[in-house]
A and B are shown apart, each in its own frame.
Chain A
């Protein structure tokens, strides 16, 4: 059984560029979550999907952030016009309905 995978593991970009991260959940999990973690803080919930439906997106940090899960399997998180304050670890998690969230290894974003 493979766990949650995320790509890329590291991304360095220049301010103003767009970036996209991918998350592949555990195959039978119908819920997929995105979190952001900055230094010294716990993960901060951003958005989640049940199958292909995005059920919560009010926590997305700004309108520069968007997420998709077009076929109810993998998901992408896009940040447009990146800013230095976007530098963080972006974590994806999946779950089977309610219950435990299983996290991927994260994507480390550095905006220069």
Chain B
């Protein structure tokens, strides 16, 4: 039973345009959400997080939106750059991040020149 779902295995976006990566969750106890970026043969790199008391968090080109009623979050990258090509993982925690994270399967983002 997957508690965090990323239903798009891959996404192709033109350089300079907006990339939108989606994530759904089923556990209503989750209260902290994170996005990670991963290149092959490297560990995940933290991008941005959001607490369940907020509905938006922004950091430079990255914005995360949280819709608690729909149990849905999304990551927006504007503008998309070639270096953004990677696998993006959505993760969630029910302990404010203190306990282990539950990850989705990831979305492979490809930025086309």
Using a CB–CB cutoff of 8 Å, the interface residues on chain A facing chain B are 4, 6, 31, 33, 35, 40-48, 56, 59, 91, 93, 95, 97-106, 108
Residues A59 and B100 in contact, CB atoms below 8 Å apart: yes
- Could you say which residues of chain B place their CB within 8 Å of the CB of A97? 98
Residues A98 and B100 in contact, CB atoms below 8 Å apart: no
Residues A56 and B105 in contact, CB atoms below 8 Å apart: no
- Could you say which residues of chain B place their CB within 8 Å of the CB of A106? 41-43
Taking A100-B46, A100-B49 as contacts, is the C-beta distance between A95 and B97 under 8 angstroms? yes
- Could you say which residues of chain B place their CB within 8 Å of the CB of A4? 43
What are 30 sample pairs from A and B whose C-beta atoms fall under 8 A apart? A6-B43, A33-B101, A35-B100, A42-B4, A42-B89, A43-B44, A43-B101, A45-B100, A45-B102, A46-B100, A59-B100, A91-B44, A95-B97, A98-B32, A98-B95, A98-B98, A99-B49, A99-B96, A100-B46, A100-B97, A101-B34, A101-B46, A101-B101, A102-B46, A103-B45, A104-B43, A105-B41, A105-B42, A106-B42, A108-B41
- Interface residue range, chain B: 20 to 34
- Could you say which residues of chain B place their CB within 8 Å of the CB of A47? 100
- Could you say which residues of chain A place their CB within 8 Å of the CB of B100? 33, 35, 45-48, 56, 59
Name the distance in Å between A67's Cβ and chain B's nearest Cβ. Answer: 13
Interface on chain B toward A: helix, strand, loop, or mixed SS? loop
* Most chain B CB atoms below 10 A, which of A40, A45, A59: A45
Name the distance in Å between B94's Cβ and chain A's nearest Cβ. Answer: 11
B98 in complex: contacting residue of A31, A43, A91, A108, CB < 8 Å: A31
- B1 lies within 8 A of chain A by Cβ: no
- B91 lies within 8 A of chain A by Cβ: yes
- Could you say which residues of chain B place their CB within 8 Å of the CB of A99? 32, 49, 96-98
Name the distance in Å between B43's Cβ and chain A's nearest Cβ. Answer: 4
- Could you say which residues of chain B place their CB within 8 Å of the CB of A98? 32, 95-98
- Could you say which residues of chain B place their CB within 8 Å of the CB of A56? 99-100
Name the distance in Å between A36's Cβ and chain B's nearest Cβ. Answer: 11
